[in-house]
A and B are shown apart, each in its own frame.
Chain A
């Protein structure tokens, strides 16, 4: 059985490898100068005063696509919350306060505010410098969890009222939708970046609706990551199986 499986894998893998290498040899040369879509994306981004072209692609030219991406994230968090709920044969035990080595505690509490501010900075400057809502959201959410490393789980739970983050997650998704619908009411297309002035190039308020959509995504990703990690941590730290059942 196992040998058969390995043989099948070897034959299939070799065939796929040959096809992939043949395809690679036929691709345009690496580092080539012809990028028609890239050139047009850069042109469109500069027309709308967005310094970070990647943000312009994500939140202006392909904003509809980002809506789908955000929905995937939202649905996945929902799925995880359902999968990782407390089952009938389990109970919650408050975790014991644990000893933390002093250097770890000091370092974690020192880095926490720095990491949090860095995350918020990366979100806020999404349309100007590399980064944006997705990246900054993850940084901000994980920064909170330094409290778990530096203190203990109880301390993390006190700064992390889960209901609030779940509501924020849903609100951020709705905010993105409302920002998408506003141009429809104004007579243009869904998620079209036509409502707001494009502002001065390379300033915080440049890019029309790009900074707003970026902020909505930042909020969504940060709260989604917090909710997701909370449920995994609950499983590891708090939820236990009933004994003797």
Chain B
């Protein structure tokens, strides 16, 4: 099964999309967005994997003695996680304000309020 990790990423992304589209609660929707984003972590790490590889850190292994996984995608994943966390924080702050101003976190009710 040499495509399974990629398929897991696709599955995670689609699950998150389904949750986003059918969500009845904005906090739940923010969680679904985080699921979508975790698909990108899985995809990035899967792309960078090398059979029998270990972490690309040479404080305890001699350089060249073992294959290491791709450090570039690991750094990209780190960026991805940081951006994901900030987006989540900002969205949750927005949800808090919406809940205060409109008294609801159901996106469908919000549409009716806005006319």
Contact = CB atoms under 8 A, between A and B. Distances in A.
Interface of A: 5-6, 9, 13, 16-17, 20-21, 24-25, 27-33, 35, 37-38, 41-42, 45-46, 51-54, 56-58, 62, 65-66, 69, 72-73, 76-77, 79-80, 83-84, 87, 128-130, 134, 201-202, 228, 231-232, 235, 241
Contacts of A129: 57, 59
Given A65-B79, A128-B59, A9 B21 contact: yes
B51 A51 contact: no
A27 B2 CA distance: 10
Interface in B72-104: 72-75, 78-79, 81-83, 86-87, 89-90, 92-94, 96-97, 100
Contacts of A20: 10, 13-14
14 contacts: A21-B7, A24-B9, A31-B50, A33-B67, A35-B69, A37-B72, A38-B70, A53-B71, A54-B78, A58-B78, A73-B86, A202-B58, A232-B89, A232-B96
Given A38-B70, A54-B56, A13 B50 contact: no
Given A202-B59, A228-B89, 5 more contacts: A13-B17, A31-B51, A33-B67, A46-B63, A83-B93
B114 to A, nearest CB: 16
Contacts of A32: 50-51
B99 to A, nearest CB: 10
The 7 closest A-B pairs by CB, nearest first: A38-B70, A76-B86, A24-B6, A53-B71, A20-B10, A53-B56, A31-B51
User: Interface majority SS on A: helix, strand, loop or mixed?
Assistant: helix
